[in-house]
């Protein structure tokens, strides 16, 4: 048995584990822990691809496992975080029992999980779409998960910044990201194949902005970077710029 062929799948399995445990903590009033588990899942998501390329350990099982991991860590876990934040917005408590809520409140708390269905559609589309070999069509589930984790981190760290936030606003954000997941908007890949400016200028600009935003806003700055990524990609698509 060639052990190195199983290393990428092992890393992907760690991503799965991070996502499942993140869901558990998010639904049990500890979204602070869930946030870091999503970031850990993103690290393993990057690592499995890197390991597969470095070891030339590609497999059909690995492809399917990667999609399942992304659905859990960057679809279901973020939805659980949004759900818990909505519960807090409605009641002032992260820990209140779901069955103590009114019927309307229960519906609002459950609505974020609609995003999981869109994440599943996005991943299924990606697996059969031969147009997405170099760049992406629609927002990736990984970017969606990382945005949620970074936003939630800032929400916990600086709640005074979010007096404008309400369950309705959160649901609008979820609706926007759900649409972006299955959209046809071209989104450039964040992976560097070389260090040439001409071929990577968009990536270098994004990296520079990430450094600036993180320096100014801390971990929450990652959410601002992803918003920039979405806005610039959508604007180029609308204006027909390649």
Q: What is the pLDDT of residues 221-235, one digit of tens each?
A: 999 999 999 998 898
Q: What is the pLDDT of residues 100-150, one digit of tens each?
A: 999 999 999 999 999 999 999 999 988 887 776 567 788 999 999 999 999
pTM: 0.90
Q: What percent of the chain has pLDDT over 90?
A: 57
Domain ranges of the chain: 3-239
Q: SS3 of 92, please?
A: coil
CA 21, 25, 31: angle at the middle one, nearest 5? 125
Q: Residue 56 above 70 pLDDT?
A: yes
Roughly what angle, to the nearest 10 degrees, separates helices 7-26 and 77-91?
10
Q: Which 8-state DSSP code applies to residue 127?
A: H
Residues 6+ positions from 150 with CB-CB distance below 8 Å? 219, 220, 221, 222, 223, 226
């Amino acid at each position: 048995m060639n052990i190195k062929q199983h290393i990428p799948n092992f890393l992907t399995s760690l991503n799965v584990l991070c996502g499942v445990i993140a869901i558990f903590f998010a639904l049990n009033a500890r979204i602070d822990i869930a946030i870091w588990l999503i970031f850990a899942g993103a690290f393993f998501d990057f690592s499995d691809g890197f390991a597969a390329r470095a070891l030339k350990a590609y497999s059909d099982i690995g492809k399917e496992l990667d999609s399942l991991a992304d659905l859990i860590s960057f679809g279901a876990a973020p939805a659980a975080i949004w759900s818990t934040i909505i519960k807090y917005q409605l009641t002032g408590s992260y820990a209140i029992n779901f069955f103590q809520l009114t019927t309307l409140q229960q519906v609002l708390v459950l609505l974020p999980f609609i995003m999981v269905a869109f994440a599943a559609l996005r991943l299924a589309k990606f697996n059969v779409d031969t147009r997405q070999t170099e760049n992406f069509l629609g927002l990736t589930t990984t970017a969606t998960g990382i945005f949620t984790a970074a936003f939630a981190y800032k929400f916990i760290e600086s709640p005074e910044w979010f007096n404008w936030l309400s369950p309705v606003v959160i649901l609008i954000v979820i609706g926007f990201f759900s649409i972006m997941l299955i959209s046809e908007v071209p989104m450039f890949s964040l992976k560097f194949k070389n260090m040439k400016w001409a071929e990577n200028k968009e990536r270098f600009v994004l990296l520079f902005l990430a450094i600036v935003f993180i320096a100014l806003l801390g971990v929450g700055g990652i959410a601002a970077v992803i918003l920039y990524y979405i806005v610039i990609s959508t604007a180029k698509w609308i204006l027909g710029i390649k």
